Chain A
Amino acid sequence: DVKVTQSSRYLVKRTGEKVFLECVQDMDHENMFWYRQDPGLGLRLIYFSYDVKMKEKGDIPEGYSVSREKKERFSLILESASTNQTSMYLCASSLGSGRRQTEAFFGQGTRLTVV
């Protein structure tokens, strides 16, 4: 089975802190994604990556950055956390590209609260 693991289930951080959310997948997937999920807004894509050191902005990249130094690991960074970044963060991965791409497999989620 595909396993996508996020480093924390719950995090509480202070405004202005630098926050790292880590995601690791064990199935050699090329593509990795970070979403945030908010009530009434569904899932919104923050960043995605289709290869090591490659990244693409999603719909809401402002206030976030990402790092993909190794194929299995995709990190989301909040440079200076703000209360409006309180949310559920979901990491996902998928294999292939274009028409050969599989569905996305999701991690368990990190519920981040910024106080």
Chain B
Amino acid sequence: ELKVEQNPLFLSMQEGKNYTIYCNYSTTSDRLYWYRQDPGKSLESLFVLLSNGAVKQEGRLMASLDTKARLSTLHITAAVHDLSATYFCAVDIYGGSQGNLIFGKGTKLSVKP
């Protein structure tokens, strides 16, 4: 059974600190996505990682993909309150299933002053 595991599931951090969220998956894939969800809202696409070694950065967030290790990381630099949200990774097991995304359970990030 394909598994996508995120850790931690809950993260409380202070403003100005750095931290990394991990996304491990159990099958071969070289396509992974990161989404952000604010409370009561839908999912917003953050990063699209399409190959081994891919690295994308937007503001204080940087995502990377290591397909050999089946691992993606979302690194937060100098956190600010506005980054408080739930972050999901999703692995694409495209092929016969025509692009079925498997989501991690999400990491709820709370940034405190």
**Which A residues lie at the B interface, using CB under 8 A?**
31, 33, 40-43, 45, 48, 50, 56, 58, 90, 92, 94, 96-99, 101-109
Contact = CB atoms under 8 A, between A and B. Distances in A.
A77 B106 CA distance: 27
Nearest to A31: B99
B92 A90 contact: no
Interface stretch (B12-20, B42-50, B63-71, B73-81): B42-50
Contacts of B33: 103-104
Nearest to B94: A98
A90 B42 contact: yes
Interface of B: 31, 33, 35, 41-45, 48, 88, 90, 92, 94-95, 97-101, 103-106
A42 B35 CA distance: 12
A103 B42 contact: no
A90 B43 contact: yes
